Structure 1
Amino acid sequence: MNLEALKFPVGKFVKPETITKEIIDSAISEIENFPNLVKAEIENLDENDLKLKYRPEGWTITQVVHHCADSHINSYVRFKLALTENLPTIKPYEESLWAELPDSKLSPFVSLKLLEALHERWVFILKSLSEEDLNKEFIHPEQPEKISLKENILIYSWHCQHHLAHIRQAKELRFN
């Protein structure tokens, strides 16, 4: 298996030409179910299993779970900024450096609890968005185009699938 396939087991995010209500609803459902799917994947793993990587030089299962909590907190804040400010410029963060901070050594179940609560709040907001809200945008200084909230819902649905696949891949391929 090549490195690109190991990095992107579900492929890279591709924005659909048209974003329909059905696509948005499906993406919100993916986001809503993500914490339970992660829990099902990691609840019976021992300490050694949690140290497995999805690819050589990649993150451990524990780091992937912590990364998802970090990333989804940032996304939740970006949604709230876009809903309450006119075209805010969001702050990017160095995810690879965050993955090395001391809290990345905690049990992934700490971040799983965080994901469960965060996703409950996040999905509540997502399900309440009007068409006008879905079209609100923010600026990511590292991206060439503005990002709408409806597009960001799809990006994070993909993000959930992407990292869930990493966890499953680590369990299957067992890189140390």
Structure 2
Amino acid sequence: MENLRYPIGKPNIPKEISDRNIKEWIEIIELFPRKLKKLVSNLSDDQLNTKYRNEGWTIRQVVHHCADSHHNSYTRFKWTLTENKPIIKTYYEDRWAELKDSKDGPIGLSINSLIALHDKWVYFLKLLTFEDLDKYFIHPEGNEIVTLKENIGIYAWHCNHHYAHIEHLIKRKNW
């Protein structure tokens, strides 16, 4: 069950984040939308409405979740660079995934959104300085401090994590 929930394991962000880490993570973020589009482009509605695990989301919900989550992350980067140690707003991703647009909406809407967002986000990320990357926001759950460089790693993991959910289901189902 844990392998289905975390097919690539939980995030493992190093304490010392190198320039190489940042470049690799940005590349993952850059390539993700088009890789995802290719992965899901030939799936039928029935396949898109298949859960990747019991009590998990459907492929359709995962795709829409990625768009929602990545939009929120992009906003968190902007807040962190324009405010002093902002306390971010969290959201109930499980409730968002249950909204009609996530459960029934065409995935092309979120794929197109991800492509545009990631193109803009990657352009933005490549402009950040070391000083920018050390800035942080405060996550209200536990008052956790998250630096922008850590958040790049978290979202590179997030891309790979949800890609693996879908890819592993496709392999298991032999689609």
Q: Normalised by the shorter chain, which TM-score bucket? A: over 0.9
Q: Percent identity?
A: 53
CA drift at 1:158: 0.2
The answer to whether structure 1 residue 140 and structure 2 residue 139 are counterparts is: yes
Cα shift readout 1:107-145 (whole Å, capped 9, x = no counterpart): 111100000010011111100000010001000001443
Which of these residues, 14, 17, 23, is aligned with residue 15 of structure 2? 17
**SS of structure 1 residue aligned to 2:162:** helix
RMSD of aligned alpha carbons: 0.9
Aligned counterpart, 1:59: 57
After superposition, residues 20-169 of structure 1 pair within 5 angstroms as: 20-104=18-102, 105-169=104-168
Q: Work out the CA distance in 2 between the residues paired with 1:62 and 1:173.
A: 17
**SS of structure 1 residue aligned to 2:98:** coil
Structure 1 residue identity aligned to 2:9 = G
Structure 1 residue identity aligned to 2:114 = L
**SS of structure 1 residue aligned to 2:60:** helix
Structure 2 residue identity aligned to 1:98 = W
Unaligned runs of 5+ in 2: none
CA drift at 1:100: 0.5
**SS of structure 1 residue aligned to 2:10:** coil
TM-score, normalised by the number of residues in structure 1: 0.95
CA drift at 1:14: 1.1
Q: Work out the CA distance in 2 between the residues paired with 1:62 and 1:122.
A: 23
Q: Provide runs of 4+ in structure 1 moved above 2 Å.
A: none
Q: Work out the CA distance in 2 between the residues paired with 1:171 and 1:143.
A: 36
Unaligned runs of 5+ in 1: none
**SS of structure 2 residue aligned to 1:99:** helix
Q: Work out the CA distance in 1 between the residues paired with 2:144 and 2:44.
A: 43
Q: Work out the CA distance in 2 between the residues paired with 1:12 and 1:101.
A: 26
